Structure formats: structure tokens, C-alpha cells
Amino acid sequence: MKIMKFGGTSVLDAERIGNTVGIIIDHARKEQVVVVLSAMRGVTDALIGAANQAQNGDDSYRSTLSEIADRQESALQELFATGKTSAAAVSAESVRPKLRELLEELEEILHGVSLVRECSPRTMDLVMSFGERLNCTLVADYIQFLGEPAQFVDARTLIATDGAHGRAEVDYSTTNERTRAVLPGVEGIPIVTGFIACSRDGSTTTLGRNGSDFTASILGAALEARVIEIWTDVDGVLSADPRYVESAFVVPEMSFQEAMELSYFGARVIHPSTMIPAVRANIPILIKNTLRPEAPGSLISRTSSQGKTITGIASIEDVALINVEGSGMIGVRGVASRVFRALADADVNVIMISQASSEHSICLVCREREADAAVASLERELARELESAAVERFQLIRNLEIIAIIGENMRGTPGISGRLFSALGNERINVLAIAQGSSERNISFVVAKSESRRALNTVHRAFLEEKA
């Protein structure tokens, strides 16, 4: 048995839904599958927008709702106009009332929000749930229309969470028990809503963005699936961002740890937190392309058998570097803790840290949009040290990018750093900061944004492209 998850681009419109359903049916005829679906692409954002409009007393939420309804009706008409008959006697006329009922419920909720001018996190979760509920209702009935057994399954009957609306914590014990009791008894193909769950008090919760991937991972672990397939609009995980590195290619295999590192640095991989149930259960994850189902994809598993030292290159754009410098910091206990406390107080996320053994400076990298708040908080926290010149200055450098080379096979392999910085040096690319964890899976360095494209291509040539 396997889990098949399809994202918003795979169910964008009638054409994409038809293509996706063809893939589902083809696989379901070969082995038992559980299907997890996202909302149509853009619908969740539209729902959030409608809720905010209603909260602000803006009647344009009705227009947004009408646009969502039009997309559903358009897909319904195109899908059910094929002329095929079904043993289940499903038709557009039998499906339309189900969709209309959901849309009317959504309209009532948004009307209530507009009256009280408030959309609580609990209400927002309920509003966002309609994207998946509408789409799964449509797809499940369309599969039946084609003559294949299928059943809509609301994930709120399976996945139990706490009441932290917006990003709920999963109660795995209850969830596993419910999943194992319900899904094996579903007649035909279970079409499960991604992203949504239910709290102990019965209210709708959501699992955060990328929540449908999380749903697939949760169900896969509960059912001890053979594999979890994540179907998207790319052939797999690429060795680098193809917007900047034209020679980037699909990486056929990688480890869970490599995938987590790559996704942290912005690569289009399944989000690290959504992988956790699959990692714990040692269930491989296969990234596939809905538009090119014949492509082999990328397999993420416990180990990586690909032979290259470096698996991939990723980067984080729009970052800034803050240098905290001062001779009075040398040997003084507690300075680093105060620096990080100041950043935490300003709600600044530190992406990268580097400190020389001389303790003369601490180098921090954060998102550029957080840089001013970070410096202001540091100035308040270390005001006395600045006055006494124990801390000499805070140097802020903007318009930077972090680049990371990532690979399981880097561990214990000598010469990686030498090759990396030799290649960058030969191209006269200046490196402002460097960091490497003890796991040896990742070497990160900071360059000017103006040099990032050249740096990415230089490193890709040095490690990942076949030599003539």
C-alpha cells in the first residue's frame, strides 16, 4: 500500500484534475492507494483574503467567494461533460448540490465574520478548510463518474490535534488509532483532505503551510505504507536552482538528512517538519511530476546511494550579516548569550553563526528585513559595552546570499573545503563568512548577492558536473 499526495498545481483546473485522476486510477489498479489532495492552487490564499476582507468590513469578500465558486463550477462542467456513464450514476447534477452546500456554509461563516469584524485563528482555520473539502468532494465523485470506486474522507475524522490553531500539534496516538480503524475499511480509493485536522473540542485545525505533505506523512506512518509519493510540477529534487544554474539536473536519490538540509536552504523539497513521521517510520518518500509521470523522480530514504560527494547546492536570498566586534569581548562570559537574547527579544531568526576562536567578533546572518530590528535590539542590550568601547561596533552588511553545499558523502572526505574555496578563489569571488556543522553534511558561506549566480555555477561545475 502507498500514499499518493497531489499538490495544488496538480489539481489547478479541470485539465489538471483529469490528468491527476488518470494517474490515481492507473496506480490504484496495481496496488492499494490512499490519496491526499490539496486545494486547487490559489484557493487557500483566496480564502484567507476573503476572511481578511470580511473582517475589515469589506464586502468584496463576496466577489472572492464568487470567484472560488466559479472555479469549482467550471471544473465540474468540464469534467462531467465527457459523456461517460458510471455504474454509481454520479453526474454533475448529483455533485453540484454538495459543492453548493459547502459554498453556502462558507458564505454564512464569512457573513458572520463581517458582522462581528473579527476572524479568530479558530475561524480562520475553518475558513481555510473549505479549499480541500471542495476539491476532494469533486475529485472523489469524478472518479466514481469514471466507473471506479472512490470515497471522500474528511481528515478531521482521522487526524487529532491540540487547539493551537494555525499550526496544530498532532496527537499521534489517537491519530494512528483512528487512521488504522477507518481507512482500511473504505470502499474503493480513499480521497483524503490534506492540511486539515480536528482538535479535542471538535474544532477544525490546520497543520500549517505544506500541511498536505504533512498529512501524507502522518497517514503513511500510521498505515506503515510502502512509500509516500509527493506529486508536484517538477521532475524531482534538482541539484541547484535552474533559474540560476542552467546545467542543474534531477538528483535520483538522497537521504532524509540531505533532503532536510536542502529544503532548509530553499530547495523545492518536502518541508523538513512534514517529513518527521515518515523518517521515524523509515518510509521512503518519492517526489514525482504529475505532468511527466514517466519521469523516475527523486527518492528520499534512510540512505543515499548516489556516488557524488555533493548531492546538491541551495541558497537563501536576501540576507544581511551583522558583525559584533570588540576587544572587550575576549574571554568575557555571557556576551554571546546576551547577543542571542537580544535577537530573540526582537523576534529575529538567526540563520547562520560564525565566531573566530579569538572571540573578538561574532558574525550573525539573518533575513534582511529583520536586520534593522536586530541592530536596534543589540544596541539596547549592549549599550554599556558600546559606551565603554568593550564592544566597538555593529557592522551591518546588506544584499547578501547564503550558499550551501550539501551531501551525505562529505563526511570524512578530506579536501572538500579546499576544492570549494579554491574554485571560488579562482573566480575571484569574495567569501564574507563560513560555517560548517560537526555533521559535515553542509558547508555554508556568504557572498554578495551580485556574485551569487556566478558562485552557484562555479560550485556546481566544481562538484556536480561531469569532467570532460
The 3-class SS string of 197-224 reads EEECCCCEEECCCCHHHHHHHHHHHHHC
Mean per-residue pLDDT, 124-137: 97
Q: Are residues 317 and 228 in the same domain?
A: no
Q: Is the pLDDT of residue 401 over 70?
A: yes
- Report which of 310, 285, 305 is spatially closest to residue 297, judged by C-alpha positions: 285
Cell 579562482 -> residue: 426
- Strand runs labelled E in 291-358: 298-301, 312-325, 350-355
Q: Give the CATH number for residue 132.
A: 3.40.1160.10
Indicate the pLDDT class of residue 16, thresholds 50, 70 and 90. Answer: very high
User: Which band of pLDDT confidence, cut at 50, 70 and 90, is reported for residue 468?
Assistant: very low
Of the residues 216, 233, 250, the one at which a domain ends = 233
Q: Of 203, 233, 263, which residue is a domain's last?
A: 233
More confident residue, 110 or 409: 110
Same domain (yes/no): 334, 225 = no
**Residue for grid cell 551580485:** 450
Q: Has residue 260 been placed in a domain?
A: no
The per-residue DSSP string of 231-257 comes to EESSSS-BSS-TTT-TT--B--EEEHH
* 420-432 per-position pLDDT tens digit: 999 999 999 999 9
Establish if 386 belongs to a structural domain: yes
**Confidence category of residue 24, pLDDT binned at 50, 70, 90:** very high
Long-range contacts of residues 335-340, Cβ cutoff 8 Å, at least 24 apart? 335/362, 335/385, 336/362, 338/381, 338/382, 339/364, 339/378, 339/381, 339/382
Rounded to whole angstroms, what are the CA distances from 275 to 4, 213, 221, 271? 14, 8, 10, 7
> Domain holding 413: CATH number?
3.30.2130.10
pLDDT > 70 in the chain, percent: 93
* Domain count for the chain: 2
Q: Answer yes or no: are the C-beta atoms of 400 and 446 closer than 8 Å.
A: yes
In the predicted model, what is the mean pLDDT of residues 370-390?
Answer: 88
For the chain, the average pLDDT equals: 90
Residues 195 and 326 in one domain: no
- What value does the mean pLDDT take over residues 242-252? 90
For residue 84, CA distances in Å to 42, 92, 142, 147, 191 come to: 30, 12, 11, 9, 21
Distance between CA 343 and CA 376 in Å, rounded?
9
Residue given cell 523509515 in the structure block: 282
Q: What gap in Å lies between CA 377 and CA 346, rounded to an integer?
A: 6
What pLDDT, on the 0 to 100 scale, is given for residue 355? 77
Nearest residue to 226 via CA among 37, 36, 31: 31
Instruction: Cite the beta strand spans of 38-147 per DSSP E.
Output: none
Residue 392 lies in a domain: yes
Query: pTM here?
Result: 0.87
Question: What are the φ and ψ backbone dihedral angles of 436, each rounded to 5 degrees?
Answer: -145, 130
Q: Do 223 and 90 share a structural domain?
A: yes
For residue 226, give its domain range: 2-233
Where helices occur in 389-448 by DSSP H, the ranges are 416-426
pLDDT given for residue 194 in this prediction: 95
Which tens digits make up the pLDDT trace of 313-347?
Answer: 989 999 999 998 887 676 667 777 888 899 999 99
- Cα pseudo-dihedral 428, 432, 438, 440, rounded to 10: -30
- C-alpha distances out from residue 417 to 81, 149, 199, 337, Å: 60, 56, 48, 29
Looking at the fold, whether 218 and 360 belong to one and the same domain comes out as: no
* Interior angle at CA 204, CA 198 and CA 206, nearest 5: 85
Contacts 24+ apart (CB under 8 A), 348-351: 348/373, 348/374, 348/377, 351/316, 351/319, 351/402
